[in-house]
Amino acid sequence: METDDYIIKQISVFSENKPGRLAAIAKALQDEKINIFAFSIAEAKGFGVVRLLVDKPEPALKKLADIGFMVSFTDVIAVRMKDEPGGLFDIAKILGESEINIEYSYAYSGKEAAVLILRVDRIKEAIEKMTGRGADLLKAEMFL
């Protein structure tokens, strides 16, 4: 198993906390016919970081950079959860027992399953531990 196969490129966008910024990001992606699987916003004083998982990361990054946004890729992992009670617990338990810290996470509920996106402090170890214990990690190629 190549752990790299499971490292997914999330787009992180620097944005000021003011009206219209998310719309500007969404509009740019729409123009490029890029589909957003999931996103979240992290807030700080006066600014925030918009985090996006998209189907075409490279063109999306380029487009956002071209229109002046400060952007970068961040490595995350995505894992399918059973869409039933205990689904999140199964995953959180693996990381907790391995003393891997979840820096942040967000989720989306797709057609076949709920997907949890995780930013962790030791990503390769997290992938090994999770695949080793049968967690259903999404491959990066799904997002290309």
Minimum distance of another protein from residue 132's CB (angstroms): 27
Among 68, 99, 134, 141, binds another protein (CB under 8 A): 68
Identify which of residues 44 and 111 has a Cβ nearer to another protein in the complex.
44
- Furthest-apart CA atoms within the chain: distance in Å: 44
Least distance from C-beta 123 to another protein, angstroms? 13
Q: Which of 30, 35, 72, 109 binds another protein (CB under 8 A)?
A: 72
Token couple for 98: 């391995």
Contact call for residues 28 and 115 (beta carbons, < 8 A)? no
Return all residues near 97 (Cβ < 8 A) that are at least 6 apart: none
CA distance 49 to 109: 22
When asked if residue 88 is in the footprint of another protein (CB under 8 A), the reply is no
Residue from 1, 42, 142, 144 in contact with another protein (CB under 8 A): 42
Q: Rounded CA gap, 123 and 76, in Å? A: 7
Closest separation between CB of residue 18 and another protein, Å? Answer: 9
